[in-house]
Structure 1
Amino acid sequence: MKLNILKEEFCTALLSDYPAEEAHSFFFMLTQAYFKVSRLDLALNPNIEIDATEADKLEQAKLRLLQHEPIQHILGTTEFFSLNFQVSKDVLIPRPETEELVQWILDDVSANDSTIKLTELGTGSGCIAISLAKSLSGSKISAVDISEKALKIAKLNANKNEVFIDFSLQDILELEQLPENQDVIVSNPPYVRELEKKAMQRNVLDYEPEQALYVADHDPLIFYKQIANLAKKSLIPDGKLYFEINQYLAAETEKLLQDQGFTTELRKDIFGNYRMLKGIKQ
């Protein structure tokens, strides 16, 4: 079967649910992963053929995409901060805007300081902690999560990316204090209110872990309050707390930190939304 013909059939089938360029992008992500065939390869050699078994793999992927399953789940991996991460329905798919949070931390922290101690609260796939560990060699980095399944994925990702992270199974809301004082604490906790669900896409609603996403409408900053309290106890003087935040609650989240005595800075992401917040312990 000619891959070029299958491409037209694949992309046409997806047009009812996806823009044309996205459908083409999905196709070549799959051919690269399955057959090591890139967009350029097919352009240079339009007569590339695959067998029936290989064609069926594309067909099954197409059917999953039509159910709005994320392409990252179909492939089983995604890229974040130029690193490769395994993902599944048990962890959030890393977002490009979260890379900006990682970069902010790296810009603030000296890569030459081998004594840095950093903890991520709610690590999921481990993408934040692992990306930081790759750049901050010699630092002592730990990460916690409430999900055993998420921690299993995070540990696999740490091994794949050749870094050591001290992972532990913990409920953030039940933590009273971190084991030792920290220079930096970072968290991308659940912050999507139930009322915001109606604006979300099916690929998120149906396939990503609710526990990592949603908070009750009546107490949407529950995790930020708890983590701010932990940071007050566990950060060294002038230690830094970094959050990814709900853009609709940016002012309220910043005030929460200020009321706890932190000096704060809000930042917008690449889409112009207030998505990041830093607090410096006084």
Structure 2
Amino acid sequence: MNLQEANIFLKTALADLYDSRELTTISDWVLEKITSLPRIDRLMQRDQQLSEIQERRMKVCLDQLLANKPVQYVLEEAHFYGLIFYVDENVLIPRPETEELVEWILQDTNNQAYSVLDIGTGSGCIPISLKSKNNKLILAGCDISKGALSVARRNADVNRVDVDLFYCDITDQNQSANLPVYDIIVSNPPYIPEEGKKAMSPNVLRYEPHQALFTPDNDPYLFYRTIAMLGRNKLGKKGKLYFEIHEEGSVGVINILEEQGYTNIRLRNDLFNRPRMIRAEK
């Protein structure tokens, strides 16, 4: 099987699961992973035969994709803000919307030195990306999942950045009380009510960590409220709080921030014109 045939084979096999754009992306990622050839080289060398090992690896990937496993977990990597992150089922797959949150913080910090805490850091994509673009920032990330912290530490090492990564359950006041004061706190916390599972795709429900996705139906703003309250004590003077939010959750989050005395609250839309980010000042 040559490269062109392999591309057609993958797209045909997965046609019932993905649309044409997704098929092109997934096929490109799989073939680049198993051949180490970028797309332009594969196009120019489309008659090149896959080795027996490469063909076997492709079929292993295909079997997992047919079981609805996200391609990022299959390949154990995700691209985010110009970097490559190792990902497995201990962490959420980084999303493009979070890149916009990173960009907002970088614009505001303007290559100056600030201390930043990412709560629920997961793969570490937020603090690692921030540090890679502004080395003056002092970055920290915490998570309740030891598996996620292991992934984040691996990503910090691979991307050669210094980020303090540690375990902390921010809903436990005895633990959060020991946190130092930061200039910035950022979080993309769980915000999908449990009842939202019904509308989610199988590849998300089956593989991505529910602990990082879902909140109790009776308190969907639990983590926003907890972090906003934490920020009253753990943000310095004029400290800023940044949240990624559900597009239907802006009113609830803004109400929480106002109740906690935050000012200069700003809601920002993503590239699809959906309200997905909030910044507030202590």
- TM-score scaled to structure 1, two decimals? 0.95
Q: C-alpha deviations, 1:255-282, integer Å up to 9, x for none?
A: 110111111111111122111111101x
Task: Tell me the residue number matched to 1:95.
Answer: 95
Deviates most, 19-28 or 152-161: 19-28
1:161–1:39 Cα change, 3 Å: closer
Name the CA distance, whole Å, in 2 between partners of 1:139 and 1:110: 10
AA partner of residue 45 (structure 1):
Q
Structure 1 spans left out of the alignment, 5+ residues: none
Is 2:153–2:165's contact at 8 Å kept on the other side of the alignment?
yes
Shift of 1:13: 1.2
Task: Tell me the residue number matched to 2:206.
Answer: 206
Give the match's secondary structure for 1:184.
strand
Task: Tell me the residue number matched to 1:3.
Answer: 3
Give the match's secondary structure for 1:171.
coil
Task: Tell me the residue number matched to 1:151.
Answer: 149
Is 1:189–1:212's contact at 8 Å kept on the other side of the alignment?
yes
- Please state if 1:20 is matched with 2:56: no
Name the CA distance, whole Å, in 2 between partners of 1:190 and 1:129: 18
Is 2:269–2:275's contact at 8 Å kept on the other side of the alignment?
yes
User: Superposed, which structure 2 residues align to 1:2-151 within 5 Å?
Assistant: 2-111=2-111, 113-114=112-113, 116-151=114-149
Task: Tell me the residue number matched to 2:169.
Answer: 171
Is 2:32–2:38's contact at 8 Å kept on the other side of the alignment?
yes
Q: C-alpha deviations, 1:11-35, integer Å up to 9, x for none?
A: 1111111123322321221111111
Is 1:120–1:187's contact at 8 Å kept on the other side of the alignment?
yes
Name the CA distance, whole Å, in 1 between partners of 2:196 and 2:65: 24
Task: Tell me the residue number matched to 1:269.
Answer: 270
Percent of residue pairs identical: 38
RMSD: 1.4
Shift of 1:3: 2.6
Give the match's secondary structure for 1:258.
helix
Deviates most, 193-202 or 211-220: 193-202
Shift of 1:135: 2.2
Task: Tell me the residue number matched to 1:260.
Answer: 260
Is 2:7–2:31's contact at 8 Å kept on the other side of the alignment?
no
1:42–1:167 Cα change, 3 Å: closer
Give the match's secondary structure for 1:98.
helix
Deviates most, 32-41 or 237-246: 32-41
1:144–1:46 Cα change, 3 Å: closer
- TM-score scaled to structure 2, two decimals? 0.95
Q: C-alpha deviations, 1:74-100, integer Å up to 9, x for none?
A: 111111111111100000000000011
Task: Tell me the residue number matched to 2:281.
Answer: 280
Q: C-alpha deviations, 1:155-205, integer Å up to 9, x for none?
A: 011111111111111111114435322110001111111122222111211
Runs of 4 or more off by more than 4 Å in structure 1? none
Deviates most, 269-278 or 145-154: 269-278
Q: C-alpha deviations, 1:69-122, integer Å up to 9, x for none?
A: 1111111111111111110000000000001111111111131x33x1111111
Is 1:178–1:234's contact at 8 Å kept on the other side of the alignment?
no
AA partner of residue 123 (structure 1):
T
Shift of 1:57: 1.1
AA partner of residue 71 (structure 1):
V
